[in-house]
Amino acid sequence: MDTIFALASAVGKAGVSVVRVSGPLAWAAVERLGGPLPRPRMASVRRLISAGGDFLDEALILIFEDGASFTGERVAEFQVHGSVAVVQALLRELGEMPGLRGAEPGEFTRRALENERLDLSQVEALADLIDSETEQQRRQALRMLTGALGTRVGEWREKILRAVSLLEVTIDFVDEEVPVDVSDEVRDLLQFVSEDIRRELRGLESAERVRLGFEVAIVGPPNAGKSTLLNYLAGRDAAITSDVAGTTRDVIEVRMDIGGLAVTLLDTAGLRDSDDSVEQIGVARARERAGAADLRVHLVPEGDIPMLAVAEGDIVVTAKGDKAGQGVSGLTGLGVPELLSRIEARLLEEVQGAGLASRERHRVALAEGLTHLEQAQVLLNDGLDVYDVTSEEVRIALRALEQLVGHVDVEQVLDQIFSSFCIGK
């Protein structure tokens, strides 16, 4: 296997930059550049000297043994001064060593998967952790990174294998007297796993919203103060504000952290009938995006009614509270803290039942496994004559569930997953 290397810290000027090397020649690279090896997991300062005898930098060196590193291979890390020139000189020296090459995106993590240091769900969690912007995203990613989903699948696997073994021992002794009817125990095992999967599926959408974020649309008639409110919440002039009705023609988005949740606020065009063809397009887009949003905040002028139907959970507030004396105002901030609290409470309700699974790939695997488990339970009622078919249904269910953690062939999804990683990870 090739020995790979890459900058593992951010590109650009920094206090310290970390270059990671993984593979059978990782330690040899340290010896060639920095002399005698330090003890594994013991940091040591070394002067790095190029093959031509030039002094490259003074670095902190760490080495890790096979099976005790992130990738599961021999690993070395060079912690050098964070100069672009220093990093480039070190990478150039490593690239000129026989048997070493630059890593591809996600290759370190892919090796961790191949060496069973991580399962597939943990790889996805690592990508989510790197991308996390809010506290809730961080917590969810860390929960997955600890292997919680893999542990759950392991529990399901034990019960499913127990069910298969009971069915197959009955098949093996079909011509003999079997003193125990196994159908009740098998049914209980399959029912337990099925109920667990149903709970996971119910919580999948909430977990996915935590991972991807929520959309909250601010809707109302023209000149209701929607853009002013958005700018106040964003702390900057994200949207153009004007006394001229119909100023906002397109949907304007602002990403925010509300209660530890990633939220995209949508400032939509004022809802009204108009002869202006461009404004008509804006209103149509406003209605479409508002309908698809997770939550709508209706800004309603005092004495009026909402311009859109109010769905369950939507928030209705009086617009231009600085003039009305109540409601919310993006001009003065009146009622904004209370509005944010209501949005936070509403969205937190949505994630209370969040499960471990959080991706479409997870949903497909869970749904497929559940379908075959349910079919097996139906077949159980037909008796001993179809135990062989029942057993096969249970095995198919197990293979579907094991796709969650990559214990069966999932090569078709690996390239897509690792392509989202940066080089050096």
**Known binding-site positions for Mg(2+):** 227, 248
Q: How far is CA 124 from the centre of its chain?
A: 6
List the structure tokens of 111.
């090796």
Q: Which residue from 423, 414, 138, 87 is spatially nearest to 262, judged by alpha carbons? A: 138
Q: Are 123 and 109 in contact (CB under 8 A)?
A: yes
Annotated binding-site ranges for (6S)-5-formyl-5,6,7,8-tetrahydrofolate: 20, 77, 117, 425
Cα–Cα separations (whole angstroms), residue 275 to 201, 246, 267: 46, 12, 22
Annotated binding-site ranges for GTP: 223-228, 242-248, 267-270
Helix, strand, or coil (residue 163): helix
Annotated binding-site ranges: 20, 77, 117, 223-228, 242-248, 267-270, 425
Which stretch of DSSP H or E encloses residue 206? helix 183-212
Helix axes 148-172, 120-131, angle to 10 degrees: 160
In order, the DSSP letters of 67-113 are TSSSSSS-EEEEEEE--HHHHHHHHHHHHTSTTEEEPPTTHHHHHHH
Which stretch of DSSP H or E encloses residue 298? strand 295-300
How far, in Å, CA of 54 to CA of 89, rounded?
10
> Phi and psi at residue 148, in whole multiples of 5°?
-60, -40
How far, in Å, CA of 24 to CA of 63, rounded?
12
List the structure tokens of 382.
């037909």
Helix axes 120-131, 107-114, angle to 10 degrees: 150
Annotated binding-site ranges for K(+): 223, 242, 244, 247
Cα–Cα separations (whole angstroms), residue 385 to 167, 170, 175: 11, 11, 12
